[in-house]
A and B are shown apart, each in its own frame.
Chain A
Amino acid sequence: MKPYNNKAWWLVLPVFVLVAFSAIIPMMTVVNYSVQDIFDPSTRYFVGTEWYREILADPRLHDSLLRQFIYSFCVLAIEVPLGIVVALSMPRRGLGVPFSLILLSLPLLVPWNVVGTIWQIIGREDIGLYGWILNSLGLDYNYASNPRDAWITVLVMDVWHWTSLVALLCYSGLRSIPDVYYQAARIDRASHWAVFRFIQLPKLKNVLLIAVMLRFMDSFMIYTEPFVLTGGGPGTATTFLSQTLTQMALGQFDLGRAAAFSLIYFLIILLVTWVFYTAMTHNDNKE
């Protein structure tokens, strides 16, 4: 049990001040904006909860929220199992280890707008490899005009970009399993499935929780990649929450509505983070 000592606060204070500056002050400002109709700093009117009522009835919020949840769900459903498979296939020793670690990390190091650019080119049917292959196979694939293709391209792009994160997390979880466990399993002639189910999966539970949380949250705030790839289109097929909000805030400079949107967005994040955090601390306590 860790000792109880309130002096530890002094060590946390710098972090608190720094993050408060960039989190609490802006958050207060957002709340202030969300209850006013602002034309310029000196011409503003208190409108109470009018913006909230309006934004809650706004189809733009409903649509992008729905799209966002479907998208984040698809991301998790593909990336988590795929990440586990890749992690299980990682070499355990030898030169292959650092080699595959670095290669796996490559997509994570690409600036997000470059990710969009890469897929923008590679998906084009005239000059991009994937687009060309798909069209040669007789599929009529065009991410710029077909909403379904655009959606799938954004999803594949995310899988390419982030599955490595899940794989690396799982890999480090797997590495912490002592060899003795595997030897015991070999003596018992346990099947590969049994080894996975009863030795590897339990050990992966903690890292998987982190992976699911990070992937859910980061896909929930995705902005740059689809913005560069499709600009949110065709139509609004790939316009997710962050982009809708950015359009409102910077495109139309619609301060009140954007602020109310921000707060609703933030409340969703707050709830989901809390659920994951509670699950994580609950797990830690049990061990």
Chain B
Amino acid sequence: MGWMAWTLPTALFFAGIALLLVAMTVWQTVSPGRERKGFLPLTTSRGDRLFIGLLASAYGHLLVLALTDWPLWVATAICATGMAIIMKWG
């Protein structure tokens, strides 16, 4: 595993993603969600919204890094809010 050059932050990041996927699976099994249409211009399931949220967050972080000098947690905070909005009303 040495060649993979693990660091604590990236390990936490991937653990978080894995947990998120497990949680989504459990949630879907316990109370199945249906596809619906929110403010996004397409019908989405929970999983779709999660993906859209994550992808948008990735782009959000890159934008902040490219265009501003803000510390990264600001970007994370904004993206987390956006993510919640997409999950709830998207």
Contacts and interface: CB of A to CB of B under 8 A. Distances in A.
A–B direct contact (CB < 8 Å): yes
Interface of A: 25, 28-29, 31-33, 35-36, 38, 41, 44, 46, 48-49, 52-53, 56-57, 264, 267, 270-271, 274, 278, 282
B39 interface: no
B72 A29 contact: no
Interface string B1-31: 0111111011001100000000000000000
Given A28-B4, A44-B5, A271 B55 contact: yes
Given A31-B13, A49-B65, A267 B5 contact: no
Contacts of B3: 29, 41
Nearest to A56: B66
A19 to B, nearest CB: 16
Interface of B: 2-7, 9-10, 13-14, 42, 51, 55, 58-59, 61-62, 65-66, 72
A31 B13 CA distance: 10
B42 A267 contact: no
Contacts, number: 53
A75 to B, nearest CB: 25
Nearest to B67: A56
A33 B3 CA distance: 10
B5 A38 contact: yes
Given A31-B13, A56-B65, A267-B62, A36 B55 contact: no
Nearest to A281: B42
B5 A41 contact: yes
B9 to A, nearest CB: 7
Q: Which 4 A-B pairs have the closest CB atoms?
A: A56-B66, A32-B5, A29-B4, A32-B10
Which of A25, A31, A278 has the largest number of chain B CB atoms within 10 A?
Answer: A31
B7 A41 contact: no
Main secondary structure, interface of A, reads: helix
Nearest to A29: B4
A48 B72 contact: yes
B66 A36 contact: no
Contacts of A46: 7, 9
B5 A29 contact: yes
A264 to B, nearest CB: 7
A263 B42 CA distance: 27
A135 B55 CA distance: 50
A274 B55 contact: yes
A280 to B, nearest CB: 13
A35 B13 CA distance: 12
A9 to B, nearest CB: 11
A112 to B, nearest CB: 29
A270 B55 contact: yes
Nearest to A279: B42
A9 B84 CA distance: 30
Given A35-B10, A48-B72, A267-B58, 18 more contacts: A25-B4, A29-B4, A29-B5, A31-B14, A32-B4, A32-B7, A36-B5, A41-B2, A41-B5, A46-B7, A53-B65, A53-B66, A56-B62, A56-B65, A270-B55, A271-B55, A271-B59, A274-B55
B66 A57 contact: yes
A258 B6 CA distance: 17
Contacts of B13: 31
